[in-house]
Amino acid sequence: MKMQLSEIARALDADEIPDQWSEIDVTSVQFDSRKLSSGSLFVPIMGQRDGHDFIEQAVEAGAVATLWGREHQDDQPQNIPSILVDDPLAALQKLAKYYLDKLNPKVVAITGSNGKTTTKDMTASILASEYNVVKTQENFNNELGVPITILGMSSNTEILVVELGMDRPGQLHFLSDLVQPDIAVITMIGEAHIEFFKTRDRIADAKMEITDGMKEDGCFVFNGDEPLLTKRAEDVDVEHFTFGLKSDNNIHAFDIKSQDQTTSFKTNLDEEAVVTIPVIGDYNVTNALAAMAVGEKYHISVQNEIKALAKFDLTKNRTQWLTGKNGERILSDVYNSNPTAAKAVLDSFANTESNGKRYVVLGDMLELGDDADEMHASLAEKLSPARFAAVYLIGPHMKALRDRLLNEKIYDAGAVYYYDADELTRLSRDLNHQLTASDSVLLKGSHGIHLENVVDELEA
């Protein structure tokens, strides 16, 4: 982005900027003083700490101006221009809305219990074959991250691919109203955040909020294999486009073949063309179909879609293959987890090639509510010595899985290892001692368990 400070003040209906500062160019917006660069507008956000306390660090890092909460007016900085606002976060969102309207790109918004980040990466790759595309980076998918994503667009952006997350009712309604999608995508309905929503029906209701802000001539792209979505889609008065593995979808896959680190399939768009994606699992085939559906709406050729999917840039720690210090192969899928996702990746990992043994590391799946222990224990149906030599479990809820594996004699005690949530270092040490160059290991868990730290310790 590039806006003069005077334009930012007008966009926020704030007081006029004094003449000596009005033509200052702002080239980025940032709320984290550690990530600021020269030319940034600093937005102090109330988190665990009050962002206003970091204004000096922001100035030292290159901030040229700041939004400033009116309740902190007595501490208003004197060495940098500041725009007084009632609420810096609300002002950030208002500025993002202004900038989005100014550039007026097409907007593809993506949500879902699983797969939204991978689908976002796939979709952006397909669209980038013919358009200037900006996509959500990292996990910037909430009320704070989405405005930062919007304000990170360059002036020549033609399509914004934005991931929208949620953990409570009303959140997607707000975000959808902010971005006003031309295309809204729902990947699937799972158990993520069921602790708060109680049922999958309520999760589906909340996910459907992504359609609330859609443009009248928009298109709703959704998983046609999910009855919870097909039923609710009847009330959405825009064009529908479905994807899935069943043949009655607008786009469906068949002849799916799993390789060691890739998956190939064909679609009804061109029944002879083979699509190969550099990730494993039928669930990633479904993600690819969602991305191809968006590509179809923007008239991307099937051949260009195939080329883009073959080399798309996958966000870190989503079914990512790595090499360990001992030469072992590591499948890192540690950003989030729920029973549906965990069972799917266990199936996929069990079918990968291995010259040695396969090991599994499973961390707690968070926000599953009263039935969390039973949901953890249900993973036992995907675990057996024929598939995996040993199972490493970490977190209080994984005790239920350990107990089922041992009580039902699925594994001997010597092949099930359990760790408290704060024993990541011991887990890393034990794995490094166990794994050999011919082995492979899967790590899967919710982000709050921080298995990414174990991945870092294992990785060469």
Q: What is the DSSP code (8-state) at residue 248?
A: T
The C-alpha angle 170, 171, 173, rounded to 5 degrees, equals 65
The response to whether 123 counts as a known ligand-binding position is no
The C-alpha angle 350, 459, 386, rounded to 5 degrees, equals 20
The C-alpha angle 169, 171, 177, rounded to 5 degrees, equals 125
Distance in angstroms between the alpha carbons of the first and the last residue of the chain: 38
| Among 415, 367, 371, residue whose Cα is nearest residue 391 | 415
The response to whether 114 counts as a known ligand-binding position is yes
- Number of Cβ within 10 Å of residue 255's Cβ equals 10
Is 101 strand, coil or helix? helix
The response to whether 116 counts as a known ligand-binding position is yes
Q: What is the dihedral of CA 314, 315, 316, 318, to 10 degrees?
A: -70
The response to whether 120 counts as a known ligand-binding position is no
- Please answer whether residues 116 and 286 qualify as being in contact, where contact means their C-beta atoms are separated by less than 8 angstroms: no
The response to whether 136 counts as a known ligand-binding position is no
Amino acid in position 15: D
The response to whether 79 counts as a known ligand-binding position is no
Record the tokens describing residue 129, joined without a space: 């074959």
The response to whether 284 counts as a known ligand-binding position is no
The binding site consists of 112-118
The binding site for ATP consists of 112-118
